[in-house]
Amino acid sequence: MKELAQISNDQPAQIISNAIATTLREIQPCLPRKDASRQQIKRTKRVYDEEVESKTLYDFTLPDEYSITLSGMYFAKDITDGTKRILLFTTSENVKWLQEAKFCSLEIPDAFDEVKVILPSDAERIIQ
C-alpha cells in the first residue's frame, strides 16, 4: 500500500480497496485496520510529496514518466550552461503553433525564479 500511495493519485479508500482485492483471502485478516491503513497512506503521500518538490531549479529532476507525451514524443528539454539552466516543456509541434500565436500566458511553480517566453519570431530557431 505504501508503494501505491507514492505513485498513485487515488484516494486512500481506493488504494485500500485495491490492496484488499488483490490480497489472498488467507492474508486479509492479517492486514491492518482500514483507519490505520488510511493514516499510513496519508503519511506516506505527505512525506513523498515533500521529498519530490525541489526547493530550487538546480535541485529539480524531471522524472522520465513526465517527459514523454501520450503519443510517445519527448516534450521536455533540459539545457545547462554553467550556472544557467533552461527547461523546455513543449513539443516541436507546439513551438510551431507558438510561432503563429498572437499572445502567450503561463503559470510556474515557486521553485522557478523566472520564465522566459519564446516570442514567435524566435520559435523557428528553437525548433532546429
Q: Which amino acid is at 77?
A: K
One digit per residue, the tens of pLDDT, for the chain of length 128 reads 777 777 777 888 888 888 888 888 888 888 888 888 888 888 887 765 555 556 666 777 777 777 777 777 777 677 888 877 777 777 777 777 877 877 777 667 666 666 666 555 555 555 44
Q: CA dist 19 to 13, 97, 108, 125, Å?
A: 10, 44, 35, 50
Which pLDDT value is given to residue 120? 55
Helices 12-21 and 34-52 cross at an angle (nearest 10°) of 120
User: What is the pLDDT at residue 42?
Assistant: 83
pTM for the full predicted model: 0.36
Domain boundaries, the chain: 2-52, 57-127
